[in-house]
Amino acid sequence: MSTSTPKLILASQSPRRIDLLHKMELKFEIIPASVDEVTDGAQAPEENALALAHQKAAHVARKHPGNFVLGADTIVVLDSTLLGKPQNAQEAEAMLTALSGRAHQVITGVALVDPEGVHSGHAEVSTVRIRKLDNETIRRYIEGGEPMDKAGAYAIQGEGAKLVEAWSGSWTNIVGLPVEAVCRLLKEAGYPHSPDTANIEIP
């Protein structure tokens, strides 16, 4: 194990997760994990999200031992169908059409590897209901480019907020990182700095 002071490493290059950690006034390095985001149809959505988060954290922790490594993975579930990030405008349109007028779950798995290599984790579940969307609204939203790197093809913290009729649970979880769970995992793992969530505005 490294003898230097442990750092906090985010195993993700997600702008949403980076922004939330900055707002928590945490000092961290960004080292994205290079893993195949493959889900297991035999597992529950929460298990899939948590497994992928652990894979990401473990991948970076192996190369940078002796640090706190945080991994996360967000999936959107409509009925029993997992919705990932759309690969093109056609996929984004299909996802938004399917979500239109319906409620779905947003699940973020968060995993932490501490300097001793001990893993901890949590899967947070929130519910979002999308308004009934007409074809023109969907087309304009896709043309704006926002859906393309978002699970479920929308961003609740961006223009996608206009598509949302209601939500419940953790708002930051829907964005991509449940800060309440992150705070708890860091505290339980002995991370020496206390996160500050006062700067995170919840609509």
Quick check: is 79 in a domain?
yes
**Contact in structure between 73 and 110 (CB atoms under 8 Å):** no
pLDDT of amino acid 1: 43
Q: What is the pLDDT of residues 126-180, one digit of tens each?
A: 999 999 999 999 999 999 999 998 999 999 999 999 999 999 999 999 999 999 9
Q: Give the total number of structural domains in the chain.
A: 1
What is the greatest pairwise CA distance in the chain?
A: 58
Quick check: is 196 in a domain?
no
Domain of 123: which CATH number? 3.90.950.10
Residue in 150, 174, 175, 173 with CA at minimum distance from that of residue 16: 175
Residue in 151, 48, 40 with CA at minimum distance from that of residue 99: 151
Quick check: is 200 in a domain?
no
**Contact in structure between 153 and 130 (CB atoms under 8 Å):** no
Quick check: is 89 in a domain?
yes
Q: Which of 73, 114, 134, 149 is catalytic?
A: 73
Which residues, in sequence order, are bridge partners of residue 126?
Answer: 106
Q: What is the pLDDT of residues 84-124, one digit of tens each?
A: 899 999 999 999 999 999 999 999 999 999 999 999 999 99
Is 79 considered catalytic here?
no
Mean pLDDT of the chain: 95
Q: How confident is the model at residue 3 (pLDDT cuts 50, 70, 90)?
A: low
Quick check: is 201 in a domain?
no
Q: What is the pLDDT of residues 40-57, one digit of tens each?
A: 888 999 999 999 999 999
Which residues form the domain of 97? 8-188
